[in-house]
């Protein structure tokens, strides 16, 4: 029933053997040692501080949306770091391996990475950055902020929320594991067919890629169901649709995209899986397969996915800019309409990722035009932000600086995106580094918004502000790095240089490649400042303690509860009277958080089941990757069993008593800024 494989297989270990461990590759051995040191340090710290039970009780088994959100963000940051390490390798390789006389090290003809190795590096970089860094960071922030913004005590399905997180974490774990056991796919993050079929990619790399991707897709889909239901069903009394904070609107539109597009991704990957495991002919070149079917299915997800990433980023900018312009957002209604317009149009543009596939000119024309249409609502957003600052009082604190950077990156990325959408141009540089430069402007915009959002909402979650000095150094060196890496890359785009080169044949491109290396150095310095920023902030956390509304000019519900937010979010659910409720209360002098009497609050109880399911899915996929059938079968059976058993559980809730609530409320010291005192 299963297909024939190159290489050995046995029923107990599947394809797994000692050869799968890349001990002969010094880079991977070094990485492994690094990982071991970090892991030992982490485990050691946990043991030393006897934090194990605490971690298990308060974090790993939590169903609190804020804690899950924080874990999402931590996962995203770690993966961002990994993705950055990959980017460093790509850039150094391409700076060395230029021209036929360039030196080669470590078994590579030129540079120090073989095609097989660098292929894994950029594939992992792309997948990690999109799916395991940007997505978890955005989902994490939505997870934390949306319930607060709509005045809810939790998400609609707290248990599902934890499950979504642990599936994503398991998927990220698979990608990391591929470093040390086996290898990763080496053909690009979105997969090429038929290149990813067994005859051309015989190893386990593609399987790692496929299952990690698949698992994360399941996690994200569950997350989107949860967020949509939360927004639709859990809003505080008085919060009509048109009073919803703009970030919540952005979350709603983005999760509608996820809800409808991720299933298509799952199908595109599943059919590949059937080809690779059972020898069907979905995407093969011969036997009635259709490899273009993959492109269509993948990009029907892939394009909406990039808007899935950008819409929450836009939402963050739309929260930060009014706060630091000390003014209402300009054109709220248009902003909402624009978000949904972007989400809607995103469904009809996917073919622009393969304009060169010899479609009829009428077809290319259609998709060229629909793609450019997205520029209209996006432009509206840009102008609305500008008119928000207009007649405002703009303060350039760190969150605002990131938001402004994001705005400029959007102009550059949007301009280059529109140039791609002009299909005749794309014929010249499709799969070239111009496209790479285009989307890095966009994804760095997302990164910038995320950094801004973290600076902005951090005090809400942790109760103290991040310090500003090192943060600004971090900011400026990120700007420098971005300029020095991506401006040369745009220029290289005009040389026609293609993507994914292991070796660069034309020496006249060398100067650009070297300048980009300088940019990478700036990024490395930025990273150092990032750690300084983090360290100093943590050190001074008592000094930087803040009250409910640390920025003084914030406008939405989330600033109406204590910082850090208590487990139950709001001791009393607020009634909403206006679009920017908190601003409204401040203006009307009813900004007090103080309550006298309290009531019992029902909350879901923590549970270890989601962690268990995440771990089992990890094992399930591991078994499938290495074709250890008994292991997969066993873990699948266990997954089903665990789900069934859990459905019989009766006491899944607990009560926080009025007394406890009173204690918590009494203990917090809301040093309200003067503006809020009314």
Q: What is the DSSP letter of 25?
A: -
- Does position 289 interact with other proteins (CB under 8 A)? The reply is yes
Shortest Cβ 395–ligand HEA spacing (Å): 24
Name which of ligand HEA, Cu ion, ligand CUA, none residue 357 binds, using a CB cut-off of 5 to 8 Å depending on partner kind: ligand CUA
* Of the residues 491, 536, 615, 668, which one makes contact with other proteins according to CB under 8 A: 491
Considering only the stretches 8-16, 79-87, 529-537, 597-605, report the one whose residues sit in contact with other proteins under the rule CB under 8 A.
597-605
For residue 333, what are the contacts with CB-CB under 8 A and spacing of at least 6? 242
d(CA 342, CA 336): 10
Quick one: 15 or 353, whose CB is closer to ligand CUA?
Answer: 353
Q: What is the DSSP letter of 59?
A: I
Peptide bond into 564 cis (omega under 30): yes
Considering only the stretches 64-72, 259-267, 461-469, 535-543, report the one whose residues sit in contact with other proteins under the rule CB under 8 A.
259-267
Question: Which residues of this chain interact with ligand CUA, rule CB under 6 A?
Answer: 292, 357-358
Tokens at residue 86, please? 């990959």
28, burial (CB in 10 Å: exposed 0-12, middle 13-18, buried 19+): middle
Considering only the stretches 82-90, 162-170, 459-467, 505-513, report the one whose residues sit in contact with other proteins under the rule CB under 8 A.
505-513
Quick one: 210 or 504, whose CB is closer to other proteins?
Answer: 504
Quick one: 176 or 300, whose CB is closer to ligand CUA?
Answer: 300
Please work out the total of residues on this chain that contact other proteins, with binding judged by CB under 8 A. Answer: 179
Write the interaction track for other proteins spanning residues 59-98; mark x where CB under 8 A is met and - where it is not.
----------------------------------------
Shortest Cβ 265–other proteins spacing (Å): 9
| Phi, psi for residue 545 in degrees, rounded to 5 | -55, 140
Quick one: 197 or 426, whose CB is closer to Cu ion?
Answer: 426
CB of 626 within 8 A of CB of 16?
yes
Quick one: 199 or 608, whose CB is closer to other proteins?
Answer: 199
d(CA 671, CA 664): 16
* Of the residues 186, 303, 381, 438, which one makes contact with Cu ion according to CB under 5 A: 303
Shortest Cβ 448–ligand HEA spacing (Å): 10
Tokens at residue 331, please? 């054109």
For residue 50, what are the contacts with CB-CB under 8 A and spacing of at least 6? none
- Please give the residues from 407 up to 446 whose contact with other proteins meets the rule CB under 8 A: 407-408, 411, 414-415, 418-419, 421-425, 427-432
Quick one: 358 or 667, whose CB is closer to ligand CUA?
Answer: 358
Peptide bond into 647 cis (omega under 30): no
Considering only the stretches 75-83, 161-169, 371-379, 460-468, report the one whose residues sit in contact with other proteins under the rule CB under 8 A.
371-379
d(CA 101, CA 117): 21
Instruction: Please report where in the chains the tokens 């300048």 appear, as a residue.
Output: 515
- Does position 346 interact with other proteins (CB under 8 A)? The reply is no
CB of 560 within 8 A of CB of 585?
yes
Q: Using DSSP, state whether 156 is helix, strand or coil.
A: coil
- Does position 641 interact with other proteins (CB under 8 A)? The reply is no
Quick one: 18 or 358, whose CB is closer to ligand CUA?
Answer: 358
Nearest CA to 469 out of 561, 552, 401, 394 is that of: 401
* Of the residues 9, 32, 59, 195, which one makes contact with other proteins according to CB under 8 A: 195
Shortest Cβ 374–ligand HEA spacing (Å): 4
Quick one: 134 or 621, whose CB is closer to ligand HEA?
Answer: 134
CB of 87 within 8 A of CB of 148?
no
Shortest Cβ 548–ligand HEA spacing (Å): 28
Considering only the stretches 56-64, 161-169, 278-286, 615-623, report the one whose residues sit in contact with other proteins under the rule CB under 8 A.
278-286
Tokens at residue 188, please? 């690009």
d(CA 578, CA 557): 10
DSSP-derived secondary structure for 420-463: HHSHHHHHHHTTBHHHHHHHHHHHHHHHHHHHHHHHHHHHHHHS
- Does position 670 interact with other proteins (CB under 8 A)? The reply is no
Nearest CA to 245 out of 325, 310, 316 is that of: 316
Shortest Cβ 324–other proteins spacing (Å): 9
| Angle in degrees, CA 360, 365, 367, rounded to 5 | 100
305, burial (CB in 10 Å: exposed 0-12, middle 13-18, buried 19+): buried
Q: Judging by DSSP bridges, how do beta strands 601-604 and 653-656 pair with one another? A: antiparallel
Question: Which residues of this chain interact with ligand HEA, rule CB under 6 A?
Answer: 77-78, 80-81, 84, 87, 90-91, 122-123, 125-126, 129-130, 133-134, 188-190, 306, 309-310, 352-353, 371, 374-375, 378-379, 382, 410-411, 414, 417-418, 420-421, 426, 430, 435-436, 438-440, 442-444, 446-447, 485, 499-501, 523, 526-527, 530
CB of 145 within 8 A of CB of 315?
no
- Does position 584 interact with other proteins (CB under 8 A)? The reply is yes
Quick one: 296 or 326, whose CB is closer to Cu ion?
Answer: 296
Quick one: 276 or 303, whose CB is closer to Cu ion?
Answer: 303
Quick one: 342 or 672, whose CB is closer to ligand HEA?
Answer: 342
Quick one: 293 or 394, whose CB is closer to ligand CUA?
Answer: 293
| Phi, psi for residue 19 in degrees, rounded to 5 | -60, -20
Shortest Cβ 572–ligand HEA spacing (Å): 37
d(CA 66, CA 45): 24
Name which of other proteins, ligand HEA, ligand CUA, none residue 281 binds, using a CB cut-off of 5 to 8 Å depending on partner kind: other proteins
Angle between helices 291-325 and 135-149 (to 10 degrees): 50
Quick one: 458 or 598, whose CB is closer to other proteins?
Answer: 598
- Does position 391 interact with other proteins (CB under 8 A)? The reply is yes
* Of the residues 328, 340, 517, 636, which one makes contact with other proteins according to CB under 8 A: 328
Quick one: 643 or 671, whose CB is closer to other proteins?
Answer: 643
- Does position 102 interact with other proteins (CB under 8 A)? The reply is no
Considering only the stretches 63-71, 141-149, 504-512, 628-636, report the one whose residues sit in contact with other proteins under the rule CB under 8 A.
504-512
The full 3-state SS of 371-388, as one line of letters, equals HHHCHHHHHHHHHHHHHH
Q: What is the DSSP letter of 601?
A: E
What is the four-CA torsion angle of 208, 214, 219, 224, rounded to 10 degrees?
150
Binding residues for Cu ion, rule: CB under 5 A, are 303
């Amino acid at each position: 029933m299963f297909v024939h494989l190159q290489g050995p297989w046995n029923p107990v270990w599947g394809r797994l053997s000692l050869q799968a461990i890349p001990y002969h590759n010094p880079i991977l051995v070094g990485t492994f040692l690094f990982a071991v040191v970090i892991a030992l340090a982490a485990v050691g710290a946990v043991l030393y501080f006897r934090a194990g039970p605490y971690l298990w009780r308060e974090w790993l088994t939590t169903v609190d949306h804020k804690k899950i959100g924080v874990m999402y963000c931590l996962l995203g940051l770690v993966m961002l770091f990994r993705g950055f390490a990959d980017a460093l390798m790509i850039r150094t390789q391409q700076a060395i391996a230029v021209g036929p006389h360039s030196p080669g090290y470590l078994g590579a003809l030129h540079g120090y990475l073989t095609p097989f190795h660098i292929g894994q590096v950029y594939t992992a970089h792309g997948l990690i950055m999109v799916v395991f860094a940007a997505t978890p960071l955005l989902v994490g922030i939505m997870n934390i902020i949306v319930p607060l913004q709509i005045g809810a005590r939790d998400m609609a399905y707290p248990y599902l929320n934890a499950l979504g997180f642990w599936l994503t974490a398991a998927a990220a774990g698979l990608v990391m594991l591929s470093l040390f056991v086996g290898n990763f796919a080496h053909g690009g993050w979105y997969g090429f067919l038929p290149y990813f079929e067994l005859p051309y990619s015989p190893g386990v790399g593609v399987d790692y890629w496929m299952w990690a991707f698949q698992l994360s897709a399941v996690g994200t889909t569950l997350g989107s169901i949860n967020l949509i239901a939360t927004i639709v069903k859990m809003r505080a009394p008085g919060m009509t649709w048109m009073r919803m904070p703009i970030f919540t609107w952005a979350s709603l539109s983005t999760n509608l995209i996820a809800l409808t597009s991720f299933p298509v991704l799952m199908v595109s990957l599943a059919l590949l899986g059937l080809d690779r495991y059972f020898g069907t002919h979905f995407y093969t070149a011969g036997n009635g397969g259709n490899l273009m079917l993959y492109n269509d299915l993948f990009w029907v997800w892939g394009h909406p996915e990039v808007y899935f990433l950008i819409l929450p980023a836009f939402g963050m900018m739309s929260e930060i800019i009014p706060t630091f312009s000390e003014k209402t957002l300009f054109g709220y209604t248009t902003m909402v309409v624009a978000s949904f317009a972007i989400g809607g149009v995103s469904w009809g543009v996917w073919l622009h990722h393969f304009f060169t596939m010899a479609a009829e000119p009428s077809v290319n024309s259609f998709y060229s035009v629909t793609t450019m249409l997205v520029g209209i609502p996006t432009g509206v957003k840009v102008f609305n932000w500008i008119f928000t600052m207009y007649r405002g009082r703009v303060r350039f604190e760190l969150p605002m600086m990131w938001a402004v950077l994001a705005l400029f990156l959007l102009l550059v990325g949007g301009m280059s995106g529109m140039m791609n959408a002009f299909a005749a141009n794309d014929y010249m540089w499709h799969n070239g580094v111009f496209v790479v430069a285009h989307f890095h402007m966009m994804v760095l915009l997302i990164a910038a918004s995320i950094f801004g959002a973290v600076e902005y909402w951090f005090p809400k979650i942790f109760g103290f502000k991040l310090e500003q000095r090192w943060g600004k150094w971090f900011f400026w060196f990120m700007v420098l790095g971005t300029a020095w890496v991506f401006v040369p890359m745009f220029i290289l785009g005009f040389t026609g240089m293609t993507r994914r080169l292991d070796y660069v044949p034309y020496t006249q491109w060398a100067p650009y490649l070297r300048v980009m290396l300088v940019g990478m150095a700036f990024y490395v310095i930025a990273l150092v400042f990032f750690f300084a920023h983090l360290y100093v902030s943590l050190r001074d956390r008592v000094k930087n303690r803040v009250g409910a509304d640390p920025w003084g000019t914030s406008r939405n519900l989330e600033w109406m509860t204590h910082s850090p937010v208590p487990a139950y979010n709001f001791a009393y659910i607020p009634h909403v009277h206006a679009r920017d409720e908190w601003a409204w209360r401040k203006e009307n002098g009813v900004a007090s958080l103080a309550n006298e009497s309290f009531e019992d609050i029902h909350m879901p109880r923590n549970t270890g089941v989601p962690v268990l399911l995440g771990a089992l899915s990890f094992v399930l996929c591991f078994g499938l990757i290495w074709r250890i059938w008994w292991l997969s079968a066993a873990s699948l059976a266990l997954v089903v069993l665990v789900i069934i058993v859990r459905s019989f559980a009766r006491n899944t809730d607990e009560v926080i008593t009025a007394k406890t609530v009173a204690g918590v409320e009494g203990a917090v010291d809301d040093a309200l800024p003067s503006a809020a005192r009314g």
